[in-house]
Amino acid sequence: MAAEMIMDIRKAFSGGFTVDARLTAALGASTVLILFGPSGSGKTTILRCLAGLERPEAGRIRFISRTWFDAEQAIDVPPQERGVGYMSQDYSLFPTYSVAGNIRFGLGELKADERQRRVAESLALLKLQGLEQFKPGQLSGGQQQRVALARAVARRPQLLLLDEPLSALDAPTRTHLRSELRALLKQLAVPSVVVTHDWTEALVLGDQMAVIHEGRVLQTGTPQEVFNRPNGEAVARIVGIETALEGRVIESSGGLMTVDVEGTKLIALGEDEVGPDVFVCIRAEDVVLEPVGAGTTSARNHLAGQVQEVQSLGALVRVTIDCGFLLSAVVTRAAVEDLRLSPGTPVTASMKAGAVHLVPRRDVATVVTA
Amino acid sequence: MMNWTAISVTLQLATLTAMVLLLVGLPIAYWVSFSRWRWKFLVESVVALPLVLPPTVLGFYILVAIGPHSPIGRLYTDLVGHPLPFTFEGLLIASVLYSLPFAVQPFAAAFDQVDRRLIEASWTLGVSRAGTFFKLILPMSVAGVVTGFVLSFAHTLGEFGVVLMVGGNIEGVTRTVSIDIYDEVQALNYAGAAKTALFLLVVSYLILLSVYAMNRKVWAVWPQK
């Protein structure tokens, strides 16, 4: 049964920043809801309101059948009683406690043997065996993240709240742990809300996504929907990616990958570990439009298509091209006039291999490791 | 010849004062560190007053406050049968107030250093505010708490003006080491004064040495805001 989350909160901060967020989500047993937005957009504040660490001035928060917060009825359930697992951006591990001590910290009300069992279970789940007696300061960033997750899940929360779970890690570790985190969140069978400003994370981790900007929820939907069909200029600017398609890697050699997208082949730069199922992401500003039959360029991908829609964005124009799939391009008004682009015009869309980003899209079954 | 009776009175007074300040000072310091009340500085200033007031002024007000004409003094006399001034208990109350900032400020400084996100993490793990204090905040503040305890002990060893005002100079009850030295000098017994003074100097130095060794690189007395 889906866990329903209803949130409608307002909070004003000194300096004029206001959070005014309305969000309703039906979260399945392992649904991951992404709160996506640039830094300073208020997504962390929203997460903290869910955790009970920040108190909105008005509104209400309900989770499943329980009211966590209601300004009118003066209900504000303290964080201790919300049954959430919360992980802050810097993991907040207790420096005076060992790894096992950190995990045991929140299990005080359990009997000793049950507590021991839960600690062992969490250590095994996050593959932390052997590190029990280490202090947080002795661990790598990736290990610290796993301890923080183990600590959060040991209490069997009914909702996991993760604030930028990967941002404290260096780039190679982050790429590696992204898929691992996805597998873990699926395996836990606990709905989670994940804050991020990284579109790859949103695509890899998210089932649902809410775009937050200036304290407001601008759009909700699956990450793919939001990326492909931003509902306005603000969302388009925030997400940056305007084409996100499901594809399959069919060939990989010398750092170049050939990806099949609905019958069309695209060349992308990529590492072997992403495939075979991927999201193919293309920024609209990386797409170059040329008249049909133009000379060869250094770009590796040339797609013949027809203009489907021309939409003004002020100085720039968004052109949607049907080339077997729908591709968004952003060009100047002058280019539209030079190429006489209007719905139906045949056009060639080009992009360099480096502009085609591949993001792993794995089925849950293939990534869950015992 | 050292006055061992005076030394014994002084050590008892200092130990009890430090222990009472641990009980009283920790809640005050917790409030000072964690309260978001906008007028908090009013209370902080009151706590710091003994640092700047002449001991005679502080002693005078305490004497009046616990004397037989004040409600507190009358209540105490009714309950116990004798008035508070010029007793060991009266001296203890005065010492606690006099050394209050020496305990509260290091405690509060240590609590200020505890990352608020750790405390929030503890709350989301279901641990109550009190549980969080004892399981997380206190263990992380050990150095500051020991510093406050030791400094209030050391500060009590050396108090003079307040003792004279509130305690008087009663052999075996309220005559502390510093008063004894004063008496010896008044009696022109420099040899006796020198021995006791040296004793106080060495003990105080050793105590401060232990505090600074424990808080290397940290200026121990003042909060680092």
Q: Over the stretch A204-228, which tens digit does the pLDDT of each residue have?
A: 899 999 999 999 999 999 988 888 8
Q: What is the nearest CA distance from B31 to chain A, expressed in angstroms? A: 19
Helices (runs of H) and strands (runs of E) counted in chain A? 10, 21
Cα–Cα distance, A83 to A109 (Å, whole number)? 14
Name every chain A residue with its beta carbon within 8 A of the beta carbon of B115: 92
Beta strand A3-12 pairing with A58-63: antiparallel
Cα–Cα distance, A210 to A334 (Å, whole number)? 34
Chain A CB within 8 Å of residue B134 CB: no
The residue-averaged pLDDT of A62-77 equals 93
Look at residue B225 in the predicted model and tell me its pLDDT. Answer: 40
- Site of tokens 């059948």: A65
**B125·A155 Cβ contact <8 A:** yes
Chain A CB within 8 Å of residue B125 CB: yes
Token code pair at residue B15: 């130990």
ipTM for this model:
0.81
Q: Which of residues 76-115 of B touch A (CB under 8 A)?
A: 115
**B123·A82 Cβ contact <8 A:** no
- Site of tokens 């808080």: B215
**B125·A106 Cβ contact <8 A:** yes
CB B48 within 8 A of CB B225: no
Chain A CB within 8 Å of residue B118 CB: yes
Token code pair at residue B57: 């002024």
Which of A6-15, A293-302, B70-79 is the least confident region?
A: A293-302
pLDDT beyond 50 at A165: yes
Q: Coil, strand or helix: which one is A316?
A: strand
Look at residue A194 in the predicted model and tell me its pLDDT. Answer: 96
Name every chain A residue with its beta carbon within 8 A of the beta carbon of B139: 96
Find the residue in B nearest to A53 (Cα): B120
Which of A292-306, B7-21, B110-124, B191-205 is the least confident region?
A: A292-306
Taking CA atoms, B206 is separated from A62, B50, B103, in Å, by 59, 24, 18
Mutate: best of B118, B123, B125, B135, partner A, most A CBs <10 A: B125
- Read off the pLDDT of residues B1-54 as tens digits, 9 standing for 90 and up: 678 888 888 999 999 999 999 999 999 999 999 998 989 999 999 999 999 999
**Residue in B124, B131, B140 closest to A84 by CB:** B124
pLDDT beyond 70 at B218: no
- The size of the A-B interface in CB pairs under 8 A is 58
pLDDT band, very low/low/confident/very high, at A276 (cuts 50, 70, 90) = confident
Find the residue in A nearest to B119 (Cα): A92
Closest CA to A177 of A145, A202, A152: A145
Cα–Cα distance, B180 to B55 (Å, whole number)? 17
Which of A45-49, A170-174, B46-50, B183-187 is the least confident region?
A: A170-174
Strand ranges across the sheet with A18-27: A18-27, A3-12, A58-63, A66-70, A75-76
**A80·B121 Cβ contact <8 A:** no
**A94·B118 Cβ contact <8 A:** yes
**B121·A84 Cβ contact <8 A:** no
Beta strand A159-163 pairing with A192-196: parallel
Chain A CB within 8 Å of residue B117 CB: yes
Cα–Cα distance, A291 to A297 (Å, whole number)? 13
Amino acid at B89: E
Chain A CB within 8 Å of residue B130 CB: no
Taking CA atoms, B161 is separated from A111, A146, A246, A278, B48, in Å, by 56, 59, 83, 80, 18
SS3 content of chain B, % helix, strand, coil (to 5): 75, 0, 25
Find the residue in A nearest to B115 (Cα): A92
Cα–Cα distance, A199 to A204 (Å, whole number)? 9
**A53·B125 Cβ contact <8 A:** no
Helix (H) / strand (E) element for A149: namely: helix A141-154
**B123·A79 Cβ contact <8 A:** yes
- Read off the pLDDT of residues A88-140 as tens digits, 9 standing for 90 and up: 999 999 999 999 999 999 998 899 999 999 999 999 999 999 999 999 999 99
